[in-house]
Structure 1
Amino acid sequence: MTTPEEQLLELTGKKELIEEAKIANLFDQLKPVQSEFMLGDWLAGYYDTGHMTNKDLAEMRWAGKCFRTVNDIDPVMVYDDNGNRVHKKEFGQAQLRQVEYHGVVSACMIYDTMPIMDHFRYLNEETVVGAMDSKLHAAIPNVGTFYFYLTRMK
């Protein structure tokens, strides 16, 4: 039997539709992350559960996140027309705090100007998995949780 970490790593980068319940179950079994672990630049990817955010991020050419300090974060980095990573300023800034989510206290990125919280869990030394908790989606029936992963830039 494979571990939750191994199963999520296997699903990372897959282009086929994955049941959200499967990702949610595996996410809830992962270890927590300390806020300081998140510092640095990260590349982004997502698990295709059919969530509406997948299309939005693909259209804006989502590149990842930049954590300079726990209080100074560019939460949405995108690729410009020249392939450079740039901050998508419409999403403002963010901060990291330790927050409980599904019974586990772990690093959480809280947007300064939007009702969005990204909860992180440890996959390995180079990868974390995120669950986006957003009031923007709360009023939409059956929208679910957006699950993504970040890979540390070298």
Structure 2
Amino acid sequence: MVAIDSAATAAAELALLQQSGATPEQAWALFDGLPAARTDEVTLGRWQGEELDTGHPFAGVLVASGWYGKQFDGPEQVHPLLFADSTGAVFPVDPRRVPLTLTDKVPLAGVRLINKALPVLGIALRTRKYTARLRDIEYRGAVSVAMVYDHLPIIDHFRRVDEHTLLGIMDMRDLAEPYFFVLRR
């Protein structure tokens, strides 16, 4: 593992990978080279999500579905999935109501149709309850903040790119490779 020497270098490397696409090996190299971010160092509030395309089966699906990001209101108060409907309204979704196991089986055109129906479907998906927690967890040789889903076998692990950007991976049971994503504040 080679540590990245500055936030500016890390941000530039991430931007290049997002622009050109990345292999899983390139994404892992960036993730492993980034500094840890502890739970008490992560800025609270709403974070907007972006994809880091590594050719993962989920590539393009979350973005096409209306995924907005995540919201950290405290270590015990996390909304792991925020969606935005076509009107721009952002709302938390209960992850148990999202069929993640079908994510790589529905064509993007079908996902876009679902997104257009979010103003109506969103009523069934919404929640006011927090459905995840933040914990400092050792992963790939570093103790860093992770988001643990309350009811699903998913842990999102984060590393710091800069003070406003986190690189995350979704580690889900039975998923061969994790899904890489970016959060920006």
TM norm. shorter chain > 0.5: yes
In 1, the alpha carbon distance for the partners of 2:174 and 2:83 equals 21
| Change over 3 Å in CA distance of 1:47–1:111 after alignment to 2 | same
Which SS does the other structure have where 1:28 is aligned? Answer: helix
Whole-angstrom CA distance in 2 between matches of 1:124 and 1:9: 12
Question: Do residues 126 (structure 1) and 164 (structure 2) align?
Answer: yes
Distance in 2 separating the partners of 1:121 and 1:90: 22
Aligned residues: 144
Which residue does the alignment assign to 2:94?
89
Matched, 1:147 2:180: yes
For 1:54-91, what per-residue CA distance to the aligned partner results, in whole angstroms no more than 9, with x for missing partners?
23302321100000111010001011231111111234
Paired residue type of 2:148:
I
Question: Is residue 2:46 matched to residue 1:46?
Answer: no
Q: Aligned AA for 2:13? A: Q
Measure how far apart 1:145 and its partner are.
1.7
Higher strand share: 1
Q: Residue 159 of structure 2 contacts residue 168 of structure 2 at CA under 8 Å; is this kept in 1?
A: yes
Alignment partner of 1:9 out of 8, 15, 20: 15
- Give the match's secondary structure for 1:18: coil
Unaligned runs of 5+ residues in structure 2 are: 97-129
Q: Pairwise CA RMSD of aligned residues?
A: 1.8
> What residue ranges of structure 1 are gaps of 5+ in the alignment?
138-142
Q: Secondary structure at the match of 1:33?
A: coil
Shift of 1:8: 1.6
What percentage of aligned pairs have identical amino acids?
32
Matches of 2:159 and 2:83, distance apart in 1 = 23
Distance 1:134 1:90, change over 3 A: closer
Report the counterpart of residue 141 of structure 2 in structure 1. Answer: 103
Q: Distance in 2 between the 1:90 and 1:124 partners?
A: 28
Q: Which residue of 2 aligns with 1:22?
A: 26
Query: What is the CA–CA distance in structure 2 between the aligned matches of 1:149 and 1:17, rounded to whole Å?
Result: 13
2:67 is aligned to: 62
Task: Give 1 or 2 for the bigger CA radius of gyration.
Answer: 2
Distance 1:90 1:131 in 2: 16
- Choose between structure 1 and 2: higher helix proportion: 2
1:133 aligned partner, one-letter code: D
TM-score, structure 1 as length reference: 0.85
Q: Which aligned segments of 4 or more residues in structure 1 are displaced greater than 6 angstroms?
A: none
User: Post-superposition shift, 1:11?
Assistant: 2.6
Counterpart residue identity of residue 66, structure 1: Q
